[in-house]
Chain A
């Protein structure tokens, strides 16, 4: 991974739920909305599938940012998977920030299947914020 500051580009992992956020990302594509190419998407059935450890492990693997996005409350294909997840995410977000991980490195959002522009704007924002922080160093495994 290229971490020299000159031409450094952050790498951001996005966990997207299949039914809303992944569809929102598809819609951004169909609408040809341009956003920065720093995202690497991992599709999951539901934001409820995301074990908080995935996020921590992603940071250990040296990604510069993690984005998790699911259906808006009420839209979940599995009725309430996102709501069960929301509690875990709220705690994790606070906890990692408390330990001194920059809060912008780990972000959570909701994007619906019709929100292509919200998706693009979200990526724009997350990438900008992570760029501002520079390469991730905390929690990163040595020797990467």
Chain B
């Protein structure tokens, strides 16, 4: 058990002991190697389930809107729960976004900031092992990941090579503004970003279209991306609405495209680049290639970075007199 995990557990136990929270959202060991999974802890006695390691990839903020949803159907009103949440930089920024959008009750949430050093991407590990099959993981030694392949061979993989894309490019590894902070050494913030986006922008229209077609053609409309995204909390997603029906029900390519365009556009000014959608996708669609474009444009056009301040209005809820309008057609 690492130092941070001990500190975390002590802190959570204190929170339960002091009756500060009713439930804590955190991670526990998953059934597969290199994966931790979200868990809900309801009492001090359960705290030892919690883990903190390099596989805590999920964005836990996804659970908050539902937790705080008023239970209209229940006869007796129960007061909303007091929730603790373990937060990497990205989770914490999602919480800020949700606070702005009134999906979280400010008085009822305690954000526990973790010193995130970046999460391991299991897909990258698999790729690095060259399809050598099932494996187990012995943990990290000297900045490398030690894994055993199915053939029993031990391999060391460089940490950077198996760190998730989102973490490599993470601009806010520290959960700034968290209510409580677990001390530790977070990863350094990355300033050099959007290289892939710029490369893509530089391609020809036709090449870009072909890439888009290629990626979206993989989609099976399972909506896992939507389920994993903390911002996709709509009671009825536009894709499921009738009267009017925004998108035809078939998986005809244009329908699928409009689903993704619509969903990603709905993230404009809200996406914190956690890649929850990317990790959730069973078809390995490179959604980051598209979500990040909007993040970049929002920053460049409106000088706005999501999830940093509860007070600042989301960029599409407001405007400035001198917003850029270079896109306007002049006859």
Contacts and interface: CB of A to CB of B under 8 A. Distances in A.
A42 interface: no
A122 B262 contact: no
Contact of B323 (A56, A90, A98, A121): A90
Contacts of A110: 328
B324 A95 contact: no
Contacts of B246: 53, 57
Binding site secondary structure of chain A: helix
Given A87-B302, A99-B208, A57 B258 contact: yes
Minimum-distance CB pairs A-B, first 7: A100-B209, A121-B331, A100-B208, A122-B331, A83-B319, A109-B329, A107-B329
26 contacts: A53-B265, A56-B261, A56-B262, A57-B246, A60-B258, A83-B319, A84-B319, A86-B323, A87-B301, A88-B268, A88-B316, A90-B297, A90-B301, A90-B324, A91-B301, A98-B201, A98-B293, A99-B209, A100-B208, A102-B205, A107-B329, A109-B329, A109-B331, A122-B331, A141-B252, A141-B254
B297 to A, nearest CB: 5
B329 A95 contact: no
Given A87-B302, A108-B327, A141-B254, A94 B238 contact: no
Given A86-B325, A100-B209, A94 B297 contact: yes
B197 to A, nearest CB: 8
A89 B9 CA distance: 47
A94 B328 CA distance: 12
Interface residues of B, number: 46
Interface residues of A, number: 43
A80 interface: yes
A95 B293 contact: yes
A98 B319 CA distance: 23
B63 interface: no
B238 A98 contact: no
B196 to A, nearest CB: 12
Contact of B329 (A88, A125, A140): A125
Interface in A45-103: 52-53, 56-57, 60, 67, 73, 80, 83-84, 86-103
Contacts of B319: 80, 83-84, 86-87
Contacts of B298: 91
Contacts of A40: none
Contacts of B293: 94-95, 98
B122 interface: no
A39 B143 CA distance: 62
A86 B323 CA distance: 8
Interface string B293-331: 110011001100000000000011011110111011111
B212 interface: yes
Contact of A139 (B254, B294, B320, B331): B254
Interface in B174-209: 200-201, 205-209
A97 B258 CA distance: 14
Contacts of A109: 328-331
Contacts of A118: 331
Contacts of A73: 321, 325
B254 A125 contact: no
A126 interface: yes
Given A52-B265, A83-B323, A100 B329 contact: no
B327 A93 contact: yes
Nearest to B248: A141
Interface string B205-234: 111111111000000000000000000000
A138 interface: yes
B123 interface: no
Contacts of A139: 254, 257-258
Contacts of B208: 98-100
B290 interface: yes
B253 interface: yes
